[in-house]
């Protein structure tokens, strides 16, 4: 991308100054490499490189210096000739309006009313053409959905072609990122040709609504940000030990007793709204109902579900994981997961299965007796697998696939071949990827992307520099890694700090999972990421700064 250029107009990149020292002991902690001098950044007359604002970078991109002008009052996003989608495709109609707003909304408030300035050729339309006979307007995105698109920008009309609406959504995002404002408020786009598709099919964000309740608005805002970064899976870690905010239809006592309060719940309407808001942005919602551990809150509203712990010969009054030895447990789970399978349309449910403590099971005489009967000896991992396998069978019977945390694999539960294993343990994830895929299972990588862990400085570089396929294994094994997830566990996160903690740090993961493997230049990424975070800010996402500098529009909008 040659010389460092300043994208004048919508964004100004972070300022870098000669002789700037990062103040006050940064050298003591984690030294920030001093960015190189880029004088051009102070020169508003310098040329803007259209690719300086793209995030994640498309797979293939050709741009020309030839600029086309867009007139907000005339420009239209329309269904192109031959498209299998038309005005009845509410998903696209909604997306057209949304992206029009992102591109021009701010300018319209200003009401510049400038109409006669067009010295450049005008781009009058973006025509969207869906080629598949089943465009997907009323469906849900799936693991196998096509997100590829081709975008050709020349006057008088640009054309966005995609197999399905999911690719069109990604292409609209890219188109909107290419449109920029010049110093005089004109909207420009460079003639360009883009062919793009994701490197990995599963690109997720994990939100945790149990350690802290997240108001609906926070979740929806996050879905917006996900779309801006081409993420396509919301992994909703909805319940855990601390609270049970999911309002069940069959078992209302679970949230009545297990939620923090009657205010801190997601009603069926809330849940449907999240799913629909996500669908309209091409995002799958995979709910996680983690058992048998992490279930303290379940026990509040469901009698006899958890294992009573013993202190010597007496029940201690506290409870451990789900009780795996009772038939009532499986009766409950059968009914509960029937509801979950019906409420959440995605093909997959996340069943958890992580961090099961055996201490309580070991203390309970009836569990010990059951172990003996089953011939498990003292291997409580066998009891855990016994439980998990019954749960997997229940969920399979509803025609759902399942994702589980890596311990389920590590503990050698018998798994259906299409089980997805999520690798989260940070100490040796490279080897784990090798083992999981070596055994023929599909894997999702989360371990290096636990964004709840914070540290001083530009930690996005660490997330960005992870190469998911850098593990020992065959080509066939590599193909089994279907993607990854940035996880924002909620111990220290609620609505007050979720957005700036997650964005733009998760953006680094977003590009790693979408763009080509060879897109690894940190300096180029820094420039694009700084612009991208300013754009997120202008679209209402309070993404934190990458480093020193400013966004052109931030002061006016607050």
Q: Given the rule CB under 8 A, which of 143-151, 433-441, 445-453, 473-481 is the region that contacts a second copy?
A: 445-453
Which region, judged by CB under 8 A, interacts with a second copy, from 121-129, 222-230, 435-443, 495-503? 495-503
Q: Is residue 345 involved in binding a second copy (CB under 8 A)?
A: no
Q: Does 121 bind a second copy (CB under 8 A)?
A: no
Applying CB under 8 A, among 314, 399, 455, 518 the residue interacting with a second copy is 455
User: CB 42 → a second copy: shortest distance, Å?
Assistant: 9
> Of 327 and 455, which has the nearer Cβ to a second copy?
455
User: Hey, which residues does 243 pair with through a beta bridge?
Assistant: none
Q: What is the dihedral of CA 149, 154, 156, 157, to 10 degrees?
A: 0
Footprint of a second copy on 228-287 (CB under 8 A): 240-243, 260-261, 263-264
Taking the complex as a whole, the smallest distance from the CB of residue 553 to a second copy amounts, in Å, to 8
Pair type for strands 401-405 and 306-311: unpaired
- Taking the CA atoms of residue 109, residue 110, residue 112 and residue 113 in that order, the dihedral angle to the nearest 10 degrees is 20
**Residues 288-317 as x/- pattern, contact with a second copy by CB under 8 A:** -----xx-xx-----------x--------
Minimum distance from CB of 63 to a second copy (Å)? 27
Binding a second copy (rule: CB under 8 A), the pick from 382, 494, 522, 524 is 494
Give the shortest CB-297-to-a second copy separation in angstroms. Answer: 7
Q: Which of 117, 454, 521, 523 binds a second copy (CB under 8 A)?
A: 454
Considering only 1, 3, 17, 118, the residue that binds a second copy (CB under 8 A) is: 17
355 catalytic residue (yes or no)? yes
Going 61 to 62 to 63 to 69, the CA torsion angle's sign is: negative
Q: Which of residues 518-537 bind a second copy (CB under 8 A)?
A: 537
Minimum CB distance to a second copy smaller for 509 or for 537: 537
539 near a second copy (CB under 8 A) = no
Among residues 343, 439, 482, 495, the one that binds a second copy under rule CB under 8 A: 495
Placement of tokens 């009323």 in the chain = 138
C-alpha 232/C-alpha 199 separation (Å) is 12
Tell me whether residue 197 is exposed, middle or buried, using C-beta atoms within 10 angstroms of its C-beta: 0 to 12, 13 to 18, 19 or more: middle
**Pick 87 or 426: Cβ nearer a second copy:** 426
Q: How far is the CB of 144 from a second copy (least distance, A)?
A: 29
Beta 401-405 vs 348-350: how paired, if at all?
A: parallel
Least distance from C-beta 551 to a second copy, angstroms?
9
Q: Which is nearer to a second copy, 164 or 208 (CB)?
A: 208
DSSP code for 416: -
510 binds a second copy (CB under 8 A): no
Residues numbered 463 to 482 that lie near a second copy (CB under 8 A) are: none
**68: enclosing H helix or E strand:** strand 60-70
Q: Which residues contact 537 (CB under 8 A, 6 or more apart)?
A: 543, 551, 553, 554, 557
By CB under 8 A, residue 453 contacts a second copy:
yes
Please check whether residue 210 is in contact with residue 244, taking contact to mean a CB–CB distance below 8 angstroms.
yes
Buried b (16+ CB within 10 A) or exposed e, 495-520: eeebbebbbbbbbbbbbbbbbeeebe
Instruction: Determine, following the binding rule CB under 8 A, whether residue 450 of this chain makes contact with a second copy.
Output: yes
Tell me whether residue 190 or residue 296 sits nearer to a second copy (CB atom).
296
Residue in 259, 261, 274 with CA at minimum distance from that of residue 210 = 259
Q: How far is the CB of 26 from a second copy (least distance, A)?
A: 7
Question: Could you say which of 253, 276, 355, 467 is catalytic?
Answer: 355
Nearest Cα residue to 207 out of 488, 525, 549: 488
Toward a second copy, which CB reaches closer, 22 or 61?
Answer: 22
| Contacts to a second copy from residues 354-413, by CB under 8 A | 354-355, 357, 360
- Residues of span 198-237 touching a second copy by CB under 8 A: 208, 211-213, 215, 217-218
What gap in Å lies between CA 45 and CA 41, rounded to an integer?
10
Shortest distance, CB of residue 403 to a second copy, whole angstroms?
15
555 lies in the site for a second copy, by CB under 8 A: yes
CA 112 to chain centre: 37
Q: Which of left, alpha, beta for 546 (phi over 0: left; psi -120 to 50: alpha)?
A: alpha
Site residues for a second copy, window 27-46 (CB under 8 A)? 28-29, 32, 37
Q: Which of 269, 342, 414, 496 binds a second copy (CB under 8 A)?
A: 496
- In whole angstroms, give the CA distance from residue 74 to residue 68: 14
CB of 399 to a second copy, least distance (A): 29
Q: How far apart are CA 366 and CA 368, in angstroms?
A: 5
Say whether 40 sits in a helix, a strand or coil. helix
Is residue 543 within the footprint of a second copy (CB under 8 A)?
yes
Q: 471 near 434, Cβ under 8 Å?
A: yes
Among the listed residues 360, 157, 338, the one whose alpha carbon sits nearest the alpha carbon of residue 248:
338
Instruction: Tell me, letter by letter, the H, E, C secondary structure of 303-353.
Output: CCCEEEEEECCEEEEEEEEECCCCHHHHHHHHHHHHHHHHHCCCCEEECCC
Number of residues that bind a second copy (CB under 8 A): 81
Task: Provide the angle, in degrees to the nearest 10, between the axes of the packed helices 380-397 and 327-343.
Answer: 40
Shortest spacing between CB 271 and a second copy, in angstroms? 16
Q: Which is nearer to a second copy, 129 or 404 (CB)?
A: 404
Question: Does 109 interact with a second copy (rule: CB under 8 A)?
Answer: no
Does residue 424 touch a second copy according to CB under 8 A? yes
- Of 294 and 528, nearer to a second copy (C-beta) is 294
Point out the residues that are catalytic.
355
């Amino acid at each position: 991308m040659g010389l460092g250029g300043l994208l004048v107009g919508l964004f100004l990149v972070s300022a870098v100054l000669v002789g700037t020292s990062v103040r006050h002991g940064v050298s003591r902690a984690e030294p920030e490499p001093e960015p190189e001098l880029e004088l051009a950044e102070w020169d508003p007359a310098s040329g803007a490189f259209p690719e300086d604002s793209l995030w994640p970078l498309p797979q293939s991109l050709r741009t020309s210096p030839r600029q086309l002008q867009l007139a907000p009052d005339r420009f239209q996003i329309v269904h192109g000739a031959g498209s299998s989608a038309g005005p009845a495709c509410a998903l696209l109609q909604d997306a057209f309006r949304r992206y029009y707003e992102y591109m021009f909304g701010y300018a319209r408030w200003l009401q510049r009313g400038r109409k006669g300035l067009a010295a450049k050729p005008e781009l009058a339309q973006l025509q969207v053409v869906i080629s598949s006979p089943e465009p997907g307007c009323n469906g849900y995105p799936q693991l196998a959905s096509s997100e590829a698109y081709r975008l050709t920008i020349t006057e008088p009309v640009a054309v966005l072609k995609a197999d399905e609406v999911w690719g069109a959504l990604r292409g609209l995002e890219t188109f909107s990122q290419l449109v920029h404002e010049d110093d005089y408020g004109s909207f420009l786009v460079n003639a360009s040709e883009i062919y793009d598709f994701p490197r990995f099919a599963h690109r997720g964000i994990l939100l945790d609504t149990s350690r802290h309740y997240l108001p609906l608005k926070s979740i929806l805002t996050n879905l917006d940000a996900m779309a801006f970064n081409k993420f396509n899976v919301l992994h909703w870690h909805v319940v855990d030990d601390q609270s049970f905010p999911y309002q069940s239809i069959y078992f209302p006592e679970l949230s009545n007793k297990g939620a923090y309060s009657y205010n801190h719940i997601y009603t069926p309407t809330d849940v449907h709204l999240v799913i629909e808001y996500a669908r309209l942005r091409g995002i799958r919602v995979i709910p996680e109902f983690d058992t048998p551990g992490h279930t303290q809150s379940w026990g509040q509203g469901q009698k006899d579900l958890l294992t009573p712990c013993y202190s010597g010969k007496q029940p201690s009054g506290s409870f451990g994981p789900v009780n795996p030895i009772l038939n009532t447990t499986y009766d409950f789970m059968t009914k509960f997961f029937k509801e979950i399978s019906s409420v959440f349309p995605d093909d997959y449910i996340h069943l958890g299965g992580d961090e099961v403590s055996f201490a309580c099971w070991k203390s309970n005489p009836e569990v010990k007796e059951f172990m003996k009967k089953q011939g498990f000896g003292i291997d409580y991992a066998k009891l855990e697998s016994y439980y998990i396998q019954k749960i997997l069978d229940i969920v399979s019977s509803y025609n759902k696939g399942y994702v589980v945390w890596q311990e389920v694999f590590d503990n050698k539960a018998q798994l259906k071949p299409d089980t997805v294993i999520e690798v989260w343990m940070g100490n040796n994830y490279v080897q784990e990827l090798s083992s999981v895929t070596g055994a023929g299972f599909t894997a999702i990588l989360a371990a290096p992307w636990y964004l709840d862990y914070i540290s001083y400085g530009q930690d996005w570089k660490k997330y960005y520099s992870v190469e998911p396929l850098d593990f020992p294994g065959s080509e066939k094994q590599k193909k089994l890694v279907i993607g990854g997830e940035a996880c924002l566990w909620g111990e220290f996160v609620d609505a007050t700090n979720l957005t700036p903690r997650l964005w733009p740090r998760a953006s680094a993961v977003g590009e790693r999972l979408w763009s080509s493997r060879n897109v690894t230049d940190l300096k180029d990424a820094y420039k694009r990421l700084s612009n991208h975070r300013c754009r997120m800010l202008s679209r209402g996402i309070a993404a934190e700064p990458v480093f020193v500098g400013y966004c052109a529009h931030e002061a006016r909008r607050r």
